[in-house]
Amino acid sequence: MKKALAILLLLAHAAVSAQTPAAVPKPAMPVPKAAPMVIPDAPVLPVKSAILIEQSTGQVIAEQSADDRVEPASITKVMAAYVLFHELRAGRLKLDDMVRVSENAWKRGLGGSRMFVNANSEVDAKNLLLGMIVQSGNDATIALAEHIAGTEAGFVQQMNTYAQRIGMKNSHFTNAPGLPDPEHYSTARDIALLSRTMIAEFPEYYEWYATPEYSFNGIRQYNRNALLRRDESVDGIKTGHTNSAGYCLASSAKRGDMRLIAVVMGSKSEETRAQESQALLNYGFRFFEAHKLYTQNQVLAQPKVWKGEVESVDLGVADDVLVVIPKGKYEQLKASMDLPSLLIAPVALGQGVGKVRVELDSKLLIERPLVALGEAPEGGLWRRTVDGFWLWFEDDEEAP
């Protein structure tokens, strides 16, 4: 009797379950697509001039009167340091060399930024370099200049020579520390170029520009670059100020794989030059990105070679090709190659054979030469004769 009752209960439960419809899952909500990033115009700053560039490519992201001649003030010391770094690398200056501080160097430091070295004392070169870079010491700068060239005037000649070598077309220096002079001038673009070159050539010494403070003769001085204490990605470079130049700052920051250099000239105060420089750096990192398009020796084309020992030759770029573009625009890049219609042997290794171009929104971003990644020597008599025969037809087909 109990078994029959249990079977009836199971059958009844199954019947009720069969009549109850299964739960229907709710339809999935559509995932909204992210809107394309809107790239605003670069900030317009209340300064005499400004520029923002990417370090590895030198591409300009933003600029404002960047070619106007301005007083560089103590940013001049970046040029002085560049000369001294060359002396260190060449072994003509050593960090432990003792440098005598002349009366002239001591006096020229009075009334301005100084390291507080004593006249007729001897200080090692490394301390003077840090005094120049961190404390912006006019006295340290002139002492090093006189040690290297005998006189400050001789050192300034070296500064101007190096400036011309690296392409600073609108700069001229008359003194080493950056004191006011009608013939002492530069531009935001030239300073950015100098900063980029110095960082690339001397990374081991560039590290000193991130030093937050430095003490000498019992006197502690803080690095005047306020961004070093506000933004951990900032690691340089140099401030400058005179009444006529206003407040200036060349700054650099690295976030991820991208380094930017911002130059602000002729700001109204120490605080505003930091804020304006930060605005430029934030704009660049927020809205732009760097991409490596082609690597060194990557094969980009294999054109046929006529009258040669080989049928074709590999073409590529001699160096990595990088580009800086607004974020979200990578898929819109358009690359093209300009190759000769006929490539005839011999072709030497490294020989330029055409160009590769990359455009964005119908504007040329970069143009690089294509070079032969291998050799294509001239073929023997039979190969030259056969190819010459076929070239006769090629020329006939291309004729109008």
Angle at 89 between CA 86 and CA 92, to 5 degrees: 80
Give the β-pairing of 49-54 and 60-64: antiparallel
Q: How many CA atoms lie within 13 A of 197 on its CB side?
A: 20
| Rounded Cα–Cα distance for residues 225 and 263 (Å) | 12
Bridge partners, 344 (sequence order): 306
Instruction: Report residue 384 CA to chain centroid gap.
Output: 48
The CATH number corresponding to 295-398 among 3.30.530.20, 2.40.110.10, 2.60.410.10, 3.30.413.10 equals 2.60.410.10
Which helix (H) or strand (E) is 270 found in, with range? helix 270-287
Which residue among the candidates 74, 113, 251, 267 is catalytic per the annotation?
Answer: 74
Measured from the Cβ of residue 131, the count of other Cβ atoms closer than 10 Å reads 28
- DSSP, residue by residue, 35-55: PPPP-PPPPP-SSSEEEEEET
Angle at 155 between CA 207 and CA 140, to 5 degrees: 50
| Rounded Cα–Cα distance for residues 374 and 343 (Å) | 14
Phi/psi at 22 (5° precision): -70, 150
3-state secondary structure of 74: helix
Residues of the chain with CATH 2.60.410.10: 295-398
| Annotation marks residue 121 as catalytic | no
Look at residue 8 in the predicted model and tell me its pLDDT.
46
Q: Could you tell me if 277 and 248 are in contact, meaning their C-beta atoms sit under 8 angstroms apart?
A: no
| Annotation marks residue 244 as catalytic | no
Instruction: Report residue 8 CA to chain centroid gap.
Output: 84
| Rounded Cα–Cα distance for residues 225 and 384 (Å) | 67
Which residue among the candidates 136, 195, 251, 252 is catalytic per the annotation?
Answer: 136
* Model confidence, pTM: 0.85
Look at residue 381 in the predicted model and tell me its pLDDT.
83
User: Tens digit of pLDDT for each residue in 163-196?
Assistant: 999 999 999 999 999 999 999 999 999 999 999 9
3-state secondary structure of 217: coil
Which residue among the candidates 48, 77, 238, 307 is catalytic per the annotation?
Answer: 77
What are 169's two structure tokens?
A: 């077309």
| Annotation marks residue 74 as catalytic | yes
Phi/psi at 134 (5° precision): -90, -45
Amino acid, single-letter form, for residue 392? W
| Rounded Cα–Cα distance for residues 52 and 58 (Å) | 9
| Rounded Cα–Cα distance for residues 284 and 254 (Å) | 11
CATH annotation of 49-288: 3.40.710.10
Q: 310 Cβ partners below 8 Å, 6+ apart?
A: 374, 376, 377
| Rounded Cα–Cα distance for residues 355 and 35 (Å) | 36
Q: Could you tell me if 373 and 334 are in contact, meaning their C-beta atoms sit under 8 angstroms apart?
A: no
DSSP 284: H
Measured from the Cβ of residue 237, the count of other Cβ atoms closer than 10 Å reads 27
pLDDT under 50: residue ranges of the chain = 1, 3-11, 14-16, 18, 396-400
Question: What are the angstrom distances between the C-alpha of 393 and each of 120, 397, 398?
Answer: 84, 6, 9
Q: 105 Cβ partners below 8 Å, 6+ apart?
A: 117, 119, 139, 140, 142, 143, 146
Instruction: Report residue 162 CA to chain centroid gap.
Output: 19
Q: Could you tell me if 301 and 272 are in contact, meaning their C-beta atoms sit under 8 angstroms apart?
A: no
Residues of the chain with CATH 3.40.710.10: 49-288
Measured from the Cβ of residue 181, the count of other Cβ atoms closer than 10 Å reads 12
